[in-house]
Amino acid sequence: MTKKITVALDAMGGDRAPEIVVEGAALARERHLGVHYLFFGIESKIKPLLEKHKELSKVSEIVHTDDVISADVRPSAALRTGRKSSMWLAVESVRDELAGGVVSAGNTGALMASSRYVLGMIPGIMRPAIASFLPTPNGECVMLDLGANAESAVEHLVQFAIMGDAFARTTLGLPEPKIGLLNIGTEETKGTESVRQAYAVLKKMSSNETDFPLNFHGFIEGNDIALGTTDIVVTDGFSGNVALKAIEGTSKLFSALLKQTVQHSIWAKIGFLLAKPAFDKLKERVDPRRYNGAVFLGINGSVVKSHGGTDAFGFSNAIGITADMIHNGFIDRVRDEIERISHLVFSKSV
Amino acid sequence: MTKKITVALDAMGGDRAPEIVVEGAALARERHLGVHYLFFGIESKIKPLLEKHKELSKVSEIVHTDDVISADVRPSAALRTGRKSSMWLAVESVRDELAGGVVSAGNTGALMASSRYVLGMIPGIMRPAIASFLPTPNGECVMLDLGANAESAVEHLVQFAIMGDAFARTTLGLPEPKIGLLNIGTEETKGTESVRQAYAVLKKMSSNETDFPLNFHGFIEGNDIALGTTDIVVTDGFSGNVALKAIEGTSKLFSALLKQTVQHSIWAKIGFLLAKPAFDKLKERVDPRRYNGAVFLGINGSVVKSHGGTDAFGFSNAIGITADMIHNGFIDRVRDEIERISHLVFSKSV
């Protein structure tokens, strides 16, 4: 009784498209049986790549278009001139229910703009938020917003918490994900007016008085992200983007220093060879490709942005997230939850 | 022709005070000859510790007070009731020119409040900023504000850039430190209104038309902090604090995973033993104690906050930063630069 799941793929988005898109789908095909693929892009380029993968070909279809949105185009220009592009048509296929969700490794701003335009917002949601997984000692956490908005008011932060909650329930399978609100201290008096007010609203929503209790942990600080103090990290798009990239930069610095360390002496080299299986495990654990796939929450359809520079393995993970969202009826669940609690979020107390 | 430098120490601030304060000063004494110390706190506790260090004793004096500001007191309460505390008296000794600067590992909010109250701001500076060093592949960078302000307007960001510039020149000895403004993208159109306006002002100040050219690199992103793209990272206190702590959390996660890796197998353990000297070097390189000492820029006096949980080595580094600032006449230099450029920063174009 499995329903048919179709994922639309912008085959022309990303640094090494369409190669990594097809290769990524081939990897995803092995892990997610029963998923169908719609490739949008230049058929003469996609077809020969697809023919190398017999199993994938059986569940795939190509929708040809010559148009491609370039990596550096402004969102407004994409809206005006990109209507026949692989990205736009892939997003439209979700609106037209030909696909349950879409993945693109192309221009983030253009993908956000076309998604908002074509699919609209989930009723009641004011602002989209970009969400992604991050590694923690015990697994992973979800952080949002990662940069869809430069500024976020109190009602946006509260909605991010609700969307993050629905997202963690559906994709991580957590029954009561713990929600943290990012701040510069954990006392109620710390931070900006918006975070303090959002704290008050979320605190109220986490009490038993409401019919939609959230598991709200309270304020957390930057170091809590990587420590996995909460399952969900809620923040405005500015500090969320800064924090995400600060974490990425630190990981890179560490990897570079680790490499230097290994090259330090002949003993270090031998030592590293002996410990290689252990280091491979460490590498796998923090592999950024494993966390590839940022979700545009709030959009009325499942839209996932893959990193433009990822490889087939990374792209297959972005497909996996999309397939999970479709499989678990994510959009319907968020829609229901928003409807159920709208009186709480938009009450006069805010 | 070395001038006498005196550093005031809040001997009672921090988790293991006064032990680490005295031990830290003893270490600093070895590295910074010619520096004198004023210990503020409970004499009966400080004296026996000081007697263990003959050389340090020769250049030290104890100013007794029974009063101590606790770690959890509110800044406002510290202002009302802390006037006879070790922290307050240490700060006053800078105002009274008994010391050139002060170090405390105590309550951050109380130290900021008492510093502003007792020493005031450098004329023309609107807001204090907390600045600290961070490791990069080629050395270190300075980041500010790290949380003195929850929100920062355009003129504050511009002033942070100027103070950071003066600070990097004096403490890192860089002739033309490169300044980056933290944002969620590098295009001029990205980010909040404040960062975009601050960008325009700094761009103008970095042109040859002005008599005070800054080496302004432009916008940078979170990953640029650890990569050392610029010598100075300017940001508002909210995202600065979040970024700093996100970096700390990631470092801790990495260390924990590295430890797990080493315990993975007997071969990994042997391998690690062989590579130990190399790993020790790596550890030293990213040792947070090396970067201990956050400076309260904008305060009309050199005030340095040590981490409350640091050890003697960490505390000695905070003393070192203070001694450098005094030695290089940091406060006078910032005062001069602010005066020189005030017409640029506060012109109508802002």
Interface test with B, best of A186, A225, A238, A282 (most B CBs within 10 A): A238
Selecting from B136, B264, B279 the residue whose C-beta is nearest the C-beta of A261 gives: B279
More confident residue, B163 or B284: B163
- Interface check for B225 against chain A (CB to CB < 8 A): the answer is yes
Cis link prior to A48 (omega < 30° from 0)? no
* Coil, strand or helix at A25: helix
Give the pLDDT of residue A12. 97
How much is the mean pLDDT over chain A?
Answer: 90
Residues of chain B above pLDDT 70, percent:
95
Q: Cα(A163)–Cα(A179) distance, rounded to whole angstroms?
A: 11
- pLDDT value for A188: 85
pLDDT, residue B349, reads 40
Identify the sign of the CA torsion B280, B290, B53, B34: positive
Write the ipTM: 0.88
What pLDDT is stored for residue B246 in this prediction? 95
Query: Phi and psi of B150, rounded to 5°?
Result: -80, -30
A175 at interface of B, judged by CB pairs closer than 8 A: no
Look up tokens 């433009």; give the residue: A308
Quick one: pLDDT at residue B277? Answer: 80
Confidence class for position A1, pLDDT limits 50, 70, 90: very low
| Residue in B189, B241, B275 closest to A222 by CB | B241
For residue range B329-349, list pLDDT tens digits in order: 989 988 887 777 666 555 434
CA distance A2 to B97: 79
Max mean pLDDT among A147-151, A206-210, A315-319 falls in A315-319
- Per-residue pLDDT tens digits for B252-263: 888 888 888 777
Can you list the domains of chain A with their CATH numbers?
A: 1-124+298-328 (3.40.718.10), 126-297 (3.40.718.10)
The beta strands (E) that lie in chain B are given as: 5-10, 35-41, 60-64, 101-104, 129-136, 139-144, 178-182, 215-220, 232-234, 294-297, 302-305
| Distance separating alpha carbons of residues A104 and A40, to the nearest angstrom | 10
Separation CA B48–CA B46 (nearest Å): 6
CB of A145 within 8 Å of any CB in chain B? no
How far is the CA of B171 from the CAs of A71, B325, B330, in angstroms?
41, 7, 8
pLDDT digits (tens, 9 = 90+) for B298-324: 999 999 999 999 999 999 999 999 999
Residue A341 has φ and ψ, to the nearest 5°, of: -110, 5
Shortest CA distance to B317 belongs to which of B339, B293, B347?
B293
Spell out which residues of chain B touch residue A243, defining contact as CB-CB under 8 Å: 222, 239, 242-243, 246
Mark yes or no for CB contact B223/A248 under 8 Å.
yes
Q: Which two tokens stand for residue B29?
A: 């004494």
Task: Indicate the length of chain B as a whole number.
Answer: 350
Is A197 touching B (CB cutoff 8 A)? no
Query: From CA B342, how far away is CA B350, in angstroms rounded?
Result: 12
Burial of B302 (0-12, 13-18, 19+ CB in 10 A): buried
Cross-strand partners of A6: A36
For residue B42, pLDDT beyond 70: yes
If contacts are CB pairs under 8 Å, which of residues 55-84 in chain B contact chain A? Answer: none
Using pLDDT thresholds of 50, 70 and 90, give the confidence band for residue B274: confident
The distance between the two most distant Cα atoms of chain A, rounded to a whole number of Å, is 68
A252-290 pLDDT, tens digit per residue, is: 888 888 888 777 778 878 877 887 787 787 778 778 888
Q: What is the pLDDT of residues B92-119, one digit of tens each?
A: 999 999 999 999 999 999 999 999 999 9
**Residues of chain B found within 8 Å of residue A260, distances taken between Cβ atoms:** 282
Alpha helices, H only, chain A: 19-31, 43-51, 54-58, 75-81, 86-95, 108-119, 154-167, 193-205, 222-227, 237-262, 266-274, 276-286, 312-327, 330-345
Cβ of B271 and A275 within 8 Å?
Answer: yes
| B264 vs A: CB within 8 A | yes
